[in-house]
Amino acid sequence: MLQGIAEAFYLILTFDPKLWEIVLLSMTVSGLAVVLGALVGIPLGAYLGLKPERQTRLVSKLLYTLMGLPPVVAGLIIYLLLSRSGPLGVLELLYTPTAMIIAQFVLALPIIAGLTMIGIRSRGQEVQETARTLGAGRFLTAWTVVRESRIAIFGAVITGLGRVIAEVGAVMMVGGNIEGVTRVMTTAIVLETGRRNFELALGLGMVLLVLSFIINSLLYNFQGGGRNGGG
Amino acid sequence: MAGNRFVLEIKNLSKAYDDKEVLNIEQLSFRQGKIYGIIGPSGAGKSTFLRLANLLEAPTGGVVNIHGKRAFPNGADAFRLQREMTLVFQKPLLFKASVKDNVAYGLKARGYPREEIQKRVKALLQKMGLNQLAERRADTLSGGEGQRVALARAVAFEPSLLLLDEPTANLDPSNVELIEELILDLNRSAGITIIIVTHNVFQAERIAHQVLFFFEGQVVEVGETEQIFQEPRDPRTKAFIEGKMIY
């Protein structure tokens, strides 16, 4: 075990190309999925957050349900859509990083939209009315609401990233874990563990943990070191 | 400064929430350059009136005229008419930005040039005794400081009508005095029409030219401040200003 950890450190510190290729692809796939999720999820969450609650009950329930969507279910749906006989099979996206981005986007979107909606709902109405009393037009009002809820929104994005970077089920199903093409950290850990190649699996696990630590530290600092967790 | 033109006119204004009527006003007119004090017990419809006057909500029925123009909340004209006035809430929300950025907000919204914004903000902060706090995060200020920032932010773009909802509630006496002085000064120097809702009848007596007594969603009495306090016509007004009304 200790030898395995030492060798894992060696792989990380010597910038083992195989390991870093996997890390880079993981970050690219999850990063792009979250950026797309934020581009759609933040405006969607802001819109829902500013609507009266009674008008968005059904959508809210749906979003909350999708926030807990099991990755394998998301993977299965995307797989069926992208498979050769599926409605989007003609695009030939299955077992490509694009398919993995789509799957992770589906996982990140409800989280980002749902948490943005909750954050904006907490004081969005008040911000909106204040902006209106000061003569702000629609665009400035919307921008002010988003700006005032930035901590909650940032938290939503980081939570979305944390969710997708650590998931294995969806990317395994739609990516196929092809070496050099669709192999990411989580799928590689599963594979290397199966091969009893614990050094690489541990090294990848450590990088994953460090990334998770960096993400959470960013969130903690942005929220004012725990002093100001509000939206 | 008081003129004969009406800044705000109300006709048959009503508002109901879930079939419960909370406001019903037959007719009211507010002249340019005057300070109006609205007093009345809790639930009298005072804050609802301000929200309707500021076009933040649509009335259930009736008409709101701003500078003689009929205002339809959420209508095409509402935005332009809404920009003629502003409302400062009892607990004003200050944006998570510096004091000077808060004060500049309405000016930026109206597309003022940067130099003009800087000039106006600087002068206002000086006037409000806030220049030492210009760079401070507005959401970290004390109640009195925050209320002054909200007031500065509201008048920076020189609205013709300033609506104040309990601007001195929960403030200590020195801050109350300071805010009242600022309100009087804004009225005298800029000729801004001010409608102030207050629980404090003495405050209305101190600063208002005219007083309106609201009770159970209706305007019971309107008159010159002296008349309302010396010779109230309605027994309910008398009971309220003498502190004998149980509510």
| Under 8 Å between Cβ of A163 and A107 | yes
Please tell me the total count of domains within chain A. Answer: 1
ipTM comes to: 0.90
The helix (H) or strand (E) run that includes residue A112 is: helix A97-133
pLDDT in tens, A28-80: 999 999 999 999 999 999 999 988 888 999 999 999 999 999 999 999 999 99
3 state SS for B54-120: CCCCCCCEEEEEECCEEECCCCCCHHHHHCCEEEECCCCCCCCCEHHHHHHHHHHHCCCCHHHHHHH
Could you tell me if residue B105 is inside a domain? Answer: no
Please tell me the total count of domains within chain B. Answer: 1
pLDDT in tens, A160-197: 998 999 899 999 999 999 998 999 999 999 998 999 88
Could you tell me if residue B44 is inside a domain? Answer: yes
| Under 8 Å between Cβ of A121 and A60 | no
Lowest mean pLDDT among A84-88, A207-211, B17-21, B181-185: A207-211
Could you tell me if residue B213 is inside a domain? Answer: yes
Question: Between A and B, how many residue pairs show a Cβ–Cβ distance under 8 A?
Answer: 47
- pLDDT of the residue at A6: 79
In sign, the C-alpha dihedral spanning A142, A29, A71, A163 is negative
| A221 to A191, A218, B35: CA distances (angstroms) | 35, 5, 47
CATH number at residue A111: 1.10.3720.10
Could you tell me if residue A229 is inside a domain? Answer: no
Q: What is the residue range of B219's domain?
A: 6-91+159-241
Predicted TM-score (pTM) of the model is: 0.81
The helix (H) or strand (E) run that includes residue B163 is: strand B161-165
- pLDDT of the residue at B74: 62
Q: Which residue has the tokens 């990088």?
A: A207
The helix (H) or strand (E) run that includes residue A210 is: helix A198-222
Q: What is the residue range of A160's domain?
A: 2-222
pLDDT in tens, B36-57: 999 999 999 999 999 999 999 9
- In this prediction, residue A16 has a pLDDT band, given cuts at 50, 70 and 90, of confident
Residue numbers in A near B93 (CB within 8 A): 123, 126-127, 130
Could you tell me if residue A11 is inside a domain? Answer: yes
In angstroms, the separation between the Cα of residue B233 and the nearest Cα of chain A is 35
- Nearest C-alpha neighbor of B124 from the set B87, B88, B149, B92: B149
SS3 content of chain A, % helix, strand, coil (to 5): 80, 0, 20
Could you tell me if residue B229 is inside a domain? Answer: yes
Count CB-CB contacts under 10 A for residue B195: 28
Nearest to B106 among A134, A148, A150 (CB): A134
Nearest to A135 among B88, B96, B110 (CB): B110
In angstroms, the separation between the Cα of residue B86 and the nearest Cα of chain A is 5
CATH number at residue B225: 3.40.50.300
